[in-house]
Amino acid sequence: MLKKRSLLALLPLLALLTSACGLSSVSSLFGEYPENPGDLLFQDGFDDPSSGWDRVQSPNGMTDYDNGRYRIVINDTNADFWANPGLFFEDVVIDVDAGKYAGPDDNDLGILCRYQDTENFYFLIISSDGYYGIGIVKDGQQKLLEPPQMYHSGSIVIGGQPNHIQATCQGSRLALQVNGDLIAETNDSTIKSGDIGLIVGSFDEPGVDIWFDNLLVRVP
């Protein structure tokens, strides 16, 4: 089954005040970059509103901490908002729990990796009606890498229930797991490193309201 829209309408909320400038190297946090598989690079339970994520509110939507979770709300149609912690990574495995507070199931939500600026990054996303995709934004041009359009997966819990999302960005390999099941993988070596992020999108209906929690970033 194909989703009726195959590409994201990537319109950041005021660019979410983020850029590649000023990213903190993980080595500055750990003293030396962890090298062993599974080593922790970064984690956030979103209990501390000063942990570095964007805090933006406008009539178009919001990205902010909310009662021990991170919340992204979109009040526009056909728009994607995202947020970043302002760090710099190379190869990573990113885990996060995500669920829907309110709004249409026809949405998208997930993880960014190798985020360099608002026009260059990878996205690994699912939707609350069970679709998924892996894609790239390069020089502002967006493209789904796998599958060619967003496909449906029975591994994704639909509706308002939470899903555990895992994104692997290792060398040229990009892989998406949901609730422990590998549902998509592809290879692309266009972007080598950058920040991570969380992304949420709307389609024909506004009011998408998504929470994230229990973020872990580890060495693959």
Closest CA to 210 of 143, 160, 147: 160
Report how far residue 177's alpha carbon sits from residue 169's, in angstroms, rounded to the nearest whole number: 12
Domain range 13-207, CATH class = mainly beta
Does residue 16 register a pLDDT over 50? no
97: region left, alpha or beta (phi > 0 left; psi from -120 to 50 alpha):
beta
Domain limits of the chain? Answer: 13-207
Matching residue, tokens 């056909």: 78
pLDDT in tens, 70-121: 999 999 999 999 999 999 999 999 999 999 999 999 999 999 999 999 999 9
pLDDT value at residue 34 = 67
Report how far residue 187's alpha carbon sits from residue 4's, in angstroms, rounded to the nearest whole number: 25
Sign of torsion, CA 8 12 16 17? positive
% residues pLDDT > 70 (the chain):
85
| pTM of the predicted model as reported, rounded to 2 decimal places | 0.89
